[in-house]
Structure 1
Amino acid sequence: MEVLSRLLRRLPRAANFSYHPKCVQLNLTHLVFADDLLVFIRGDLPSVKAVADCLDTFSHFSGLHANPSKTDLYFGGVAETVRDLILDATGNALLVNSVIFGLHTFWGASVLLPKGIAKRIIKLCKDFLWGIDDGWISTYVLKGTSLWDAQQTVSNSWYWNNMKYRTDTMYGYLRTRRPLVPWAPLIHGTGSHPKHSFTGMLVMNNGLPNLDKLISRGMCFINRCVLCECSYEDIPHLFFECEFSKSVLIVVAQWVQMPLGSFSLAQIMQTNLPTRRNVKQHASLLATIYYLWKERNDRSFKGPKSTVDALSIVIRKVVTLRLYGSNVS
């Protein structure tokens, strides 16, 4: 097969040979899988004769011949008159009967392949089809676009056109859809830093690993707030029943003129939904949550302790930099 492969690679040198339209940029004439061969050419008589001559040359030197009973021709977009001429000229003697993973299937059924070799074979097959820069699909189907932006066309196969549709449908089916929570606009509004928004979302979903939660999992045995050192630590206490966190919130709220009807985080979230006029309040509230949680972690792991004024200044500077791109005096 190596000799035949070399002969087929020389086909483009023949003046009467033309590449298959989908194989020009890849300079692809054929694929060999075990004892099967696929040949790709333009659907015209001169190209077919060039391949037939190549097979005859190989048969003359090797004594091997293509088995007509195991040979198939596949046409696409070829006029019926041209197809009849090709069939008459070749006697249906082109061996094109395989699939892209034929090599892996053949050897896998015959011998026990090492895991590394099996992965390498699969990777080669996938790279041929899905290579980022020079794969067949990226070159002739996607044509520089992404899978999600590719449009359905009549030149693509039915399977390909329906694969994208089914992928979109499956994503919509698997995606969990839940009612919008009241505090969602505050978390996903504009102005705040992504890590501040993420921490705020964890707080509202009770997702932070506070001491109350760690004790319930048997990972901790002492529950004492490290910020005020006088109460149990849970989410409601940290935000903002704790005297330390409450004091920080009051200072920040005075700076951004945010009204505080209570110190319940849920109520604060619902009464301070973001608008164009209170982006600063929204960003400051989420920054306060983030830096209080950071302060809690610093103290838990023997880090430095910040005062209420020091932590408030940090929050003020970070929010100002985020919103206006300049520091404050």
Structure 2
Amino acid sequence: MSPGKSNAYFNGMSSADKEEILSVSGFTEGQLPFKYLGVPIQTTRLTKYDCRCLTDKIINRIQSIGAKKLSYAGRLTLIQSVLATLHNYWAMIFIIPKGVLNRIDSLCRNYLWEGRTEYTKSPLVAWDTVYAKPDKLWVQWIGHVYLKGASWVDYRPTADSSWSWRKICHVKEELQHGFHQGNWIVNPREYKIREGYNLIRTVKPKVEWSHLVWHNWVVPKHRFIAWLVYMNALNTRHKLKRIGVSDSSLCCLCEQEEETVQHLFFDCAYSRRVMGGISEWLGLNMVRSDTLQWVLKCRHSRLRKRMLKAVVSACVYGIWKQRNECRLEYKIHKPECIVADIRREMNARCLHLIKSPVHGPDANWLRRISTVH
């Protein structure tokens, strides 16, 4: 990137951080709004004024000398292939105001009947009839190759149809079911895009531990392993032996019991020593078989609960990493080393995320855990 041609844009950052980034990158600080690839970039929804350059583009095309000399058929072709599609690029990124879309329709309609942007007479044919486009090449191709005169409502794909076409037909059948079951056909106003989206996607009930994993205090690299633990999806020795990959199902760390998710992270003697070291550091009793349920239901301040969520995921990640080193590289570190790594990482994470001053008991607690060695 060229520093002379690039700008950096900031939001919610301190002046010191801004200056450091600008110093290292060589960029200058830009101000919102600005344009990128011809599209306005800003923090608020687009207004009619923001889309003025879009309508100006259409007006300039209409006012060009060549466009004025076209016949009705030529104007219609220009509208369908150029004018009416100029806003598609914007529409893929933004929600364009309804007034702007109406203005675009108005410009195209006026150009068709008069050859200019303004037209005061009654149109010869309604715009909805003029702009109906059943003759699109893709529609013609689908009709010729797949439908072959069959009704789209009753159509079923053949076994030799492409994967993408079968998926389109599958979505059509799901939506068709929704239109009947949801009474959308009888009363179209009952239909909401959200309902159609929820109908065709897989919706599962929300689990109680979701905010333990997808929490901004949890280190990103810890989240995925923690999610696999809560889903009971990790390839522990118990699972590997069951599918014939491992000869032994004993825990790599203690070699006393079967290596299940529950045992490895919460019941194993090695894991309990890690949890014990973290408990001593935080001043909280985390050494228990129902650690997850305890974190969900414990009554602590907001700061301590946030820290607990991050620490539990960090412990899970650290134990899993140590288990893999033990199994693959035959190396095992003392639990105290794992505790020291977690403590160091969590202190850095905590200091980075706390933006406002902390007072009272939380301040004393935070000072204690950040100074313990």
Structure-2-length-normalised TM-score = 0.47
Q: Unpaired segments of 5 or more residues in structure 2?
A: 1-63, 87-107, 126-132, 147-161, 166-187, 354-369
- 1:176: Cα distance to partner? 2.0
Report the CA distance between 1:218 and its aligned residue: 2.4
Q: CA deviation at 1:290?
A: 1.1
Tell me the CA shift for residue 202 of structure 1. 2.1
Is 1:302 aligned to 2:329, yes or no? yes
**Map 1:266-277 → 2, pairs under 5 A:** 266-272=292-298, 275-277=301-303
Counterpart in the other structure of 2:135: 98
1:209-252, CA deviations, whole angstroms, 9 ceiling, x for partnerless residues? 11111222222221121112233211221122211111111001
- Picking from 214, 219, 238, the partner of 1:193 is 219
Flag the 1:97–1:215 CA change in 2: closer, same or farther, 3 A.
closer
Equivalent residue number for residue 243 of structure 1:
269
1:74-89 map, 5 Å = 81-83=122-124
Contact 2:279 2:287 in 1 (8 A): no
Find out whether 1:214 has 2:240 as its counterpart: yes
Name which of 236, 252, 256 aligns with 1:226: 252
Q: Which has the larger radius of gyration?
A: 1
Q: Where has structure 1 moved over 6 Å in runs of 4 or more?
A: 77-80, 326-329
Offset at 1:201? 2.8
Higher relative contact order (CA 8 A, sep 6+): 1
Asked whether 1:293 is paired with 2:352, we answer: no
1:36-82: per-residue Cα shift (whole Å, max 9, x none)? xxxx985555649xxxxxxxxxxxxxxxxxxxxxxxxxxxx988755
Letter in 2 for 1:24: L
In the TM superposition, what are the counterparts of 1:114-153 in structure 2 within 5 Å? none
Tell me the distance in 2 between the aligned counterparts of 1:190 and 1:46: 58
Percent identity for Structure 1 against Structure 2: 19
**Structure 2 letter corresponding to 1:197:** R
Query: In the alignment, which residue of structure 1 is the partner of 2:66?
Result: 13
The count of residues paired between Structure 1 and Structure 2 equals: 217
Query: Once the 2 structures are TM-superposed, how far is the Cα of residue 168 of structure 1 from its aligned partner?
Result: 2.5
Normalization by structure 1: what TM-score?
Answer: 0.53
In 1, are the aligned partners of 2:272 and 2:287 still within 8 Å (CA)? no
Code of the residue aligned with 1:98 in structure 2: it is: D
Are the aligned partners of 2:266 and 2:291 in contact in 1 as well (CA < 8 Å)?
Answer: yes
Kept in 1: contact 2:236–2:259 (CA 8 A): yes
Task: For residues 165-213 of structure 1, give each alpha carbon's deviation from its aligned partner in whole angstroms, at most 9, with x where no partner exists.
Answer: 66532222344242543x3443334411133233223222212111111
Shift in alpha-carbon separation, 1:43–1:263, aligned structure 2, 3 A:
closer
1:315 aligns with 2:342: yes
Question: Aligned partners of 2:309 and 2:283: how far apart in 1?
Answer: 11
Structure 1, unaligned runs of 5 or more: 1-10, 28-39, 49-76, 85-95, 110-118, 123-161
CA contact (8 A) 1:187 1:200 kept: yes
> Once the two structures are superposed, what CA deviation does each residue of 1:70-100 show, in whole Å capped at 9, x if it has no partner?
xxxxxxx98875528xxxxxxxxxxx98323
Q: Give the counterpart letter for 1:259 in structure 2.
A: N
Aligned-partner SS, 2:303: coil
Letter in 2 for 1:20: I
Q: Report how far residue 102 of structure 1 moved.
A: 5.9
Q: Residue in 2 aligned with 1:176?
A: 203
What residue identity is the alignment partner of 1:222?
Answer: S
Aligned counterparts of 1:229 and 1:97: Cα–Cα separation in 2: 69
